[in-house]
A and B are shown apart, each in its own frame.
Chain A
Amino acid sequence: MSDQSTNAMVELIKVSKTYRPNIRALEDVSISIRSGEMVFITGRSGAGKTTFLKLLCKMELPTKGLVEIDGLDIRKMQGKRLSLLRQQIGVAYQDFKLLTDRTVAENISIAMEVSYLKQQIVRKRVRALLEELDLSDKHSSMTGDLSRGEQQRVALARAVANSPKLILVDEPTGNLDATSTGLVMDMLAALNNSGATILIATHDHTIYRDVDHRLLELRSGQMHQLRDGVMQ
C-alpha cells in the first residue's frame, strides 16, 4: 500500500480513448488523484465521464497514454493480479449491472464473496448497508422488481461492500429524491473520511455545490479543473 498523503491513487498521463470507428471519447487527459481524495467529475452527456471511469478499472483500455492505479500500470495487470486489484476497486455502474433474478442481499454479497469473506461477516455487512441506505425491507426482494432509485442504491451498496480503497461512482443520484440523495452522499463522505479515494461522475450540481472537494469537468473529451479541492 502506498503512503496516503504523498502517493497518487489514480495517475493518468496523456490518455486518449478513441472508440470505433472514430469516436474520440477522451483526448490527452492527464490527471493525478491523491490517495484519500474525493473528486467530482461533471460534464455534458457524452463528454466522456463513464469512459474515464471505465479506464480506471480496465473495463476499457486506453488507446494512448498511461493509466496507473496505486502505482501499477493497468495495462500490465492481468489474470490474478487484475482480479485482486478489482477487488479493491468498487464501481457503481451507471447501468447498475445488477442481477435482476437474484435478491438484493445476493447482489450485494457477490462483491464480498469473491474475496472469500466469511458468510457471517457478509450477512452482517449486507444488513448494515441496507440499513444505511434505507433499504432494509428489500433485503430478500428480487432486484428486478425494485424501482430505479432503489436499484441505484443497491448498486452503490455493492460497490462499497468490500471496503475498497478506490470507489468509482457513475451518476449515483440520477433517480433519487433529496432525502435518498442525502443518505447516499453521507455514506460516501463517511467512506472518504475513513480513507477511501472516491471519484463521482455526475450531472447533479446539488451534490457538489456545497462541498469543497475538487471539481473536474470533461468537455468533449478534455479535462478541465473547475475548482481545487481541500484535502480533509
Chain B
Amino acid sequence: MSFIFAVLRQVFRNFRQTWVSQLMTMLTVSLSVFIFAFFYLVYNNMLSIGDKLGYDLRLIVYLEEEPIPELQEQLRRKILAFDEVEDIHFVSKAEAFERFKVQLGEDQDVLEDMPEDFLPPSIEVVPLKNLRSLNQVKLFSEYLSKLPGTIKVQYGQDWIERFYYFTRLVSIIVVLSAGLLILTSVFMVSYKIRLTIIGRKAELELLKLVGATNSYIRTPFLIEGILHGLLGSTLGLTSLLGLFYWIKMKFSGPGILNIFEFSFFQPPAIVMIAIVSILLCLTGSYTSMRKYLRA
C-alpha cells in the first residue's frame, strides 16, 4: 500500500516537472498508433470485402468433349496438383443444357429446336476462400488452360485481380506502419526516460545511497511507460474512431462505399492494440532503466 503510494508520488512529481516532454512523447506514441491502426483498419475492411468477392469466385474450364470417369479422375488430380481447392464439379453437356434452361426461365422455348448437346461440357473449379488463392487466380487460370482438352478458362473480371494487388500493397503498408509503431514507442519512450535519468542523475544516485531498492527506483519509470502506452493508444484509437465516423457520415447515402458495410475494430482488436502499445512502451522504459541500474 505504502509502496504504491510512494511510487505514485514519484510519478506525479516527475510528471509535474517534465510534463511538456511527457506530453510530446505521449502524442508521438498516439500518432504512430493512429497511423498503424488506420492502415490496419483499411486492410481489415478490404479483407472482408475480399471475402464477399471471393465467395462468388469460380473458374470455369470449358472442355472439348465430355470426359469419361477415368479422365475426370485424372483431371481432378491435375487440378489439385496446383493447389487445394474448395470444390471441383464436372458439368456434362446435359447438365449445362438443363442449367441454361433454368436460367432462361420463361424464354426457354427458344431452346426447343436446339440439340441437347450444343453446350460444351466444363469443369467448375471453386478456389479456397482465402487471399492466397485469390491472389494467384490468374496463375491458376493459366495453369488450367494448359490442361489437355481445354478450350478456354473463364473467371471473374480483371478488377478482382487489381483489388487483390491493392490489398497486398495495403498489407505491406500495415507491416511498415507496425514497424513504425514499434520503433517510435520503444525508442521514443526509452530515449525520453534516458533523458530523465540524465536530468535526475544526482537524485537517482542519492536514492541508491540512502538504500532505495531497484524496484523503488524503477517502478515509477515503468509506470510512466505504461501510461504513455495506455494514453497514447487510447488517444490514437479514439481519433481513428472519430475519423471513421466522420468518413461514414460524409459518404453516407447511395454511392460506391455503400455497397460494402465498413466496420471499426472489434473490442478484442482494440484491446490487443492497446496491450501491444503498452508492452512496447514498457519495453522502452525497461531497457533504459535496466541499462542505468546495471551501471
Instruction: Return the CB mask of B1-19 against A: 1 if under 8 Å, else 0.
Output: 0110110010000000000
Are A110 and B211 in contact, CB atoms less than 8 angstroms apart?
no
Task: Report the Cα distance A118→B207, complex, angstroms.
Answer: 18
Are B209 and A116 in contact, CB atoms less than 8 angstroms apart?
no
Are A111 and B210 in contact, CB atoms less than 8 angstroms apart?
yes
- Which chain A residues lie closer than 8 Å to B205 at the CB level? 97
- Which chain B residues lie closer than 8 Å to A79 at the CB level? 213-214
The answer to whether the Cβ of B212 comes within 8 Å of any Cβ in the partner chain is yes
- Which chain B residues lie closer than 8 Å to A110 at the CB level? 206-207, 210
Q: Total number of A-B contacts with CB less than 8 angstroms?
A: 53
* Cβ distance B46 to chain A, nearest Cβ, rounded Å: 52
* Cβ distance B278 to chain A, nearest Cβ, rounded Å: 26
Task: Report the Cα distance A158→B207, complex, angstroms.
Answer: 12
* With A113-B6, A114-B216, A116-B6 as contacts: A99 and B211 at CB distance below 8 Å: no
Task: Report the Cα distance A97→B204, complex, angstroms.
Answer: 11
* Interface core residue of B207, B211, B214 (most chain A CB under 10 Å): B211
Kindly report which residue of chain A lies nearest to residue B205, judged by CB atoms: A97
What is the interface of chain B mostly: helix, strand, loop, or mixed? Answer: helix
- Which chain A residues lie closer than 8 Å to B210 at the CB level? 86-87, 110-111, 114, 158, 162
Task: Report the Cα distance A57→B9, complex, angstroms.
Answer: 27
Instruction: Return the CB mask of B174-218 against A: 1 if under 8 Å, else 0.
Output: 000000000000000000000000000011011111111110100
Task: Report the Cα distance A114→B9, complex, angstroms.
Answer: 12
Are A114 and B2 in contact, CB atoms less than 8 angstroms apart?
no
Are B211 and A85 in contact, CB atoms less than 8 angstroms apart?
yes
Are B209 and A57 in contact, CB atoms less than 8 angstroms apart?
yes
Are A116 and B214 in contact, CB atoms less than 8 angstroms apart?
no
Are A99 and B206 in contact, CB atoms less than 8 angstroms apart?
yes
- Which chain A residues lie closer than 8 Å to B6 at the CB level? 113, 116
The answer to whether the Cβ of A84 comes within 8 Å of any Cβ in the partner chain is yes
Kindly report which residue of chain A lies nearest to residue B293, judged by CB atoms: A79
Are A83 and B211 in contact, CB atoms less than 8 angstroms apart?
yes
The answer to whether the Cβ of A115 comes within 8 Å of any Cβ in the partner chain is yes
Within 8 A of B (CB), among A55-106: 57, 59, 79-80, 82-89, 91, 97, 99
Are B211 and A87 in contact, CB atoms less than 8 angstroms apart?
yes
- Which chain A residues lie closer than 8 Å to B203 at the CB level? 99
Select A59's contact among B3, B209, B211, B216, beta carbons within 8 Å. B209
Task: Report the Cα distance A93→B88, complex, angstroms.
Answer: 87
* With A113-B6, A114-B216 as contacts: A86 and B206 at CB distance below 8 Å: no
Kindly report which residue of chain B lies nearest to residue A81, judged by CB atoms: B213
Are B209 and A86 in contact, CB atoms less than 8 angstroms apart?
yes
Within 8 A of A (CB), among B206-241: 206-214, 216
Select B206's contact among A82, A97, A115, A162, beta carbons within 8 Å. A97
Task: Report the Cα distance A113→B214, complex, angstroms.
Answer: 14
Task: Report the Cα distance A115→B207, complex, angstroms.
Answer: 11
Task: Report the Cα distance A114→B7, complex, angstroms.
Answer: 10
Task: Report the Cα distance A57→B211, complex, angstroms.
Answer: 10
Are A97 and B214 in contact, CB atoms less than 8 angstroms apart?
no
Are A114 and B211 in contact, CB atoms less than 8 angstroms apart?
yes
* Cβ distance B290 to chain A, nearest Cβ, rounded Å: 13
- Which chain A residues lie closer than 8 Å to B212 at the CB level? 83, 114
Are B202 and A115 in contact, CB atoms less than 8 angstroms apart?
no
Task: Report the Cα distance A35→B216, complex, angstroms.
Answer: 29
- Which chain B residues lie closer than 8 Å to A97 at the CB level? 202, 205-206, 209
Kindly report which residue of chain A lies nearest to residue B3, judged by CB atoms: A116
- Which chain B residues lie closer than 8 Å to A116 at the CB level? 2-3, 6
Task: Report the Cα distance A202→B262, complex, angstroms.
Answer: 79
* Cβ distance A61 to chain B, nearest Cβ, rounded Å: 15
Are A115 and B209 in contact, CB atoms less than 8 angstroms apart?
no
Task: Report the Cα distance A110→B204, complex, angstroms.
Answer: 11
Task: Report the Cα distance A128→B189, complex, angstroms.
Answer: 41
- Which chain A residues lie closer than 8 Å to B3 at the CB level? 116
- Which chain B residues lie closer than 8 Å to A162 at the CB level? 210
* Cβ distance A163 to chain B, nearest Cβ, rounded Å: 13
* Cβ distance B214 to chain A, nearest Cβ, rounded Å: 7
* Cβ distance A160 to chain B, nearest Cβ, rounded Å: 12
Are B206 and A118 in contact, CB atoms less than 8 angstroms apart?
no
In the assembled complex, 7 residue pairs joining A and B whose CB atoms fall closer than 8 Å, in A order, are A80-B213, A83-B213, A87-B210, A87-B211, A97-B202, A99-B203, A116-B3
Report A's interface with B, CB cutoff 8 A: 57, 59, 79-80, 82-89, 91, 97, 99, 110-111, 113-119, 158, 162
- Sort A-B residue pairs by CB-CB distance and give the 3 closest, nearest first: A86-B211, A87-B211, A114-B212
